[in-house]
């Protein structure tokens, strides 16, 4: 049986880059939406790259979002999850994005010129360990 423990904010930031895959959630006009996204963390912010006409870009600017980053082993049932919550901002110009963040490549092919930035988010996390 696994033991559930809370993570410190510092531990959350260390784990957050994970494998670069996260899930973002927001409330769309038709109800809640959750989709997988690639992400990067840099200097106290979480960054996501998206296409210009995506529902993500069209619906999250200046809205509350949640992003979940995790790594769970399906065999052992051990792992961790980190949740970020806060107000998103859509950035339209590459010069608004730090050089260290621009290298983020998304798994799906296609042009993704816009950036979603979650600055100074509320963070919490949990870890399942062998108990």
Do strands 122-130 and 64-72 pair parallel, antiparallel, or not at all (unpaired)?
A: unpaired
Task: Kindly report the CATH number assigned to the domain that includes residue 123.
Answer: 2.30.110.10
pLDDT category at 18 given cuts 50, 70, 90 is: low
Q: Answer whether residue 126 shows pLDDT above 80.
A: yes
Please tell me the total count of domains within the chain.
Answer: 1
Q: Which tens digits make up the pLDDT trace of 39-98? A: 999 999 999 999 988 999 999 999 999 999 999 999 998 999 999 999 999 999 888 999
Contact 115, 54 (CB under 8 A): no
The predicted structure's pLDDT at residue 53 = 87
pTM of the model: 0.91
Domain range enclosing 18: 2-130
The predicted structure's pLDDT at residue 71 = 93
How far is residue 118's CA from residue 90's CA, in Å, rounded to a whole number? Answer: 9
The predicted structure's pLDDT at residue 29 = 92
Q: What are phi and psi of 78, to 5 degrees?
A: -110, 150
Q: Average model confidence (pLDDT) for the chain?
A: 91
């Amino acid at each position: 049986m696994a033991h559930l423990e809370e993570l410190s904010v510092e531990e959350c930031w260390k784990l957050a880059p994970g494998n670069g895959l996260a899930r973002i959630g927001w409330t769309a006009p038709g109800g809640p939406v959750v989709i997988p996204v690639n992400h990067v963390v840099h200097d106290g912010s979480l960054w996501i790259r998206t296409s210009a006409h995506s529902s993500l870009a069209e619906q999250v600017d200046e809205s509350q979002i949640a992003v979940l980053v995790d790594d769970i082993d399906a065999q052992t049932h051990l792992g961790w999850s980190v949740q970020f919550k806060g107000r998103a901002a859509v950035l339209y110009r590459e010069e608004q994005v730090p050089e260290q963040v621009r290298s983020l490549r998304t798994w799906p092919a296609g042009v993704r010129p816009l950036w979603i930035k979650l600055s100074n988010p509320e963070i919490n996390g949990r870890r399942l360990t062998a108990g």
